[in-house]
Structure 1
């Protein structure tokens, strides 16, 4: 078995978990490839100075080798960053939560070590997660990974004035949003930025997206759920030359003349999850769904 390991930062309190995992991999003839930047971070610790693992730094390297899994050490942001390497390879992700909330990173580091045999025996479930794909009307010579697992966000830039976003669904005019911005979210991202702006929670097995305005001026401008088979076309109007386009954790500037075409991506990201850790259980535990603080 060949697995990829990825992370963005690493603390001393996580050293024992990683060393236990490495020992397990050695004893079970599991090949470990570590992402180059993460390898450099690990090498700064005395315990890992003698690490001698092959590294990778590009998604093409993952596609050309037969990887069974990718392990991410961190939180949800680490998983969102990891998909720029996974892309359409179909390699499942195991999120090891070494951070705080860990909504996507479902395995706590203690649980990961206890259940490591079950994980590598593939006794858990693969959960497919849909993505969004965005195409600008003009690339402006920018090259970026234009897919998002959580959400695509259009935001005002360099101004305190609202922007106007004309939205079309399958070429039919929907409305003009007068707001600070607009969120187009997947079911996975519905518990993130969209939720904080009043959007609904959508379970991942639904084939929907949600459009959630950010601080809209019109009181009747509310989130809208649409089928993920529909295509969204956006025209942006602003008093300044640029607006901001966010794709998960990646931010870029776009000229206001640059229209956006958004639709469902032609591939899925797969997350490994315990059967008993259902989406609704995660809502209760992570977001305190239904929790009455008075009791």
Structure 2
């Protein structure tokens, strides 16, 4: 693809990220490409995604240099303008970034020469009974030990507003939307609706709606399922609910998940991809659903999600499964399977399977 402007989101606390950033700048200079840092932490505080990318010259490629947290910040920016995002892996346990530091220049060459795959990752967006805001007393508490808060959410101008449909918020989540308790001794009480029907009323530490991408993040830690990033579903997971039913529910992308704070509930914080965005009280509600378009992610080769799952989660084979025979064969994702397992190699295009 033609690359005219590159925006970088750099993890400022890692020397290797600064070194990788120098490599990106050198490549841009050699190829006549404009390059600018998108500094989401300084320059007068946090800004909206559209303000940040506008200040960086509306890049058509966003390069993130760090771990999954840095990638999430870059994804928020890229999603605002439908830019392509390329994640350079400087993290330790994440699933989102792909390119090792040693291959930064080669990866940029591949993007320029169209030697890449563009993968669409599902995003979530929201409607709410009102604009999300963080009260000043809560904001001071939540900022302790962290960077500054993002500005209040804006309203999407391309959506109908008002009445029972609520306010369409101009936000996107690659991982999850979380509604959680603010006080340690006061759980949130929430009515959960899926596809417009009441599922149950929960008293819990938190309730979250995750994408397939986010299924390996907070939802997984709370006992939720691992979902292929190629799927398009919404994963609802309660966190420490005071009820017998503590399972996740996987909904179709056209089945919104509604969360209404009930009358006797404590206040609830709304976080989007780990960023506090608002505080709700009894009677307030949010509706979470699939965004109209997904995040465009650069892939330089086949995505070995299950191999990464095995590696990052330190999965080991059950002793009873391998004690008396040969272990299950393992092969690189870039190689064909052994002959007797060739039936596991699906066609590139599902329609070709007939």
When normalised by structure 1's length, the TM-score is 0.83
Does 2:218 align with 1:193? yes
Distance 1:205 1:57 in 2: 30
**Equivalent position to 1:268, from 278, 291, 294:** 294
Distance 1:219 1:235 in 2: 20
User: How big is the shift at 1:3?
Assistant: 1.3
Distance 1:240 1:164 in 2: 5
Report SS of the residue matched to 1:189. helix
Between structures 1 and 2, the one with greater strand share: 1
CA contact (8 A) 1:165 1:177 kept: yes
Aligned residue number for residue 61 of structure 2: 69
Aligned residue number for residue 47 of structure 1: none
User: How big is the shift at 1:114?
Assistant: 4.9
CA contact (8 A) 1:17 1:113 kept: no
Distance 2:36 2:173 in 1: 25
Report which stretch shifted further, 231-240 or 75-84.
231-240
Aligned residue number for residue 243 of structure 1: 268
Aligned residue number for residue 27 of structure 1: 30
Aligned residue number for residue 128 of structure 1: 120
CA RMSD after TM alignment: 2.6
Structure index of larger Rg: 2
When normalised by structure 2's length, the TM-score is 0.71
Aligned pairs, number: 277
Does 2:79 align with 1:79? no
Q: Which runs of 5+ in 1 are unaligned?
A: 41-55
User: How big is the shift at 1:152?
Assistant: 0.6
Q: Which runs of 5+ in 2 are unaligned?
A: 44-49, 135-151, 154-169, 323-354
**C-alpha deviations, 1:39-87, integer Å up to 9, x for none?**
98xxxxxxxxxxxxxxx9523456x74x331101111111212233223
**Equivalent position to 1:59, from 47, 53, 58:** 53
Does 2:15 align with 1:12? yes
CA contact (8 A) 2:10 2:18 kept: no
CA contact (8 A) 2:188 2:267 kept: no
Does 2:246 align with 1:221? yes
Report which stretch shifted further, 70-79 or 94-103.
94-103
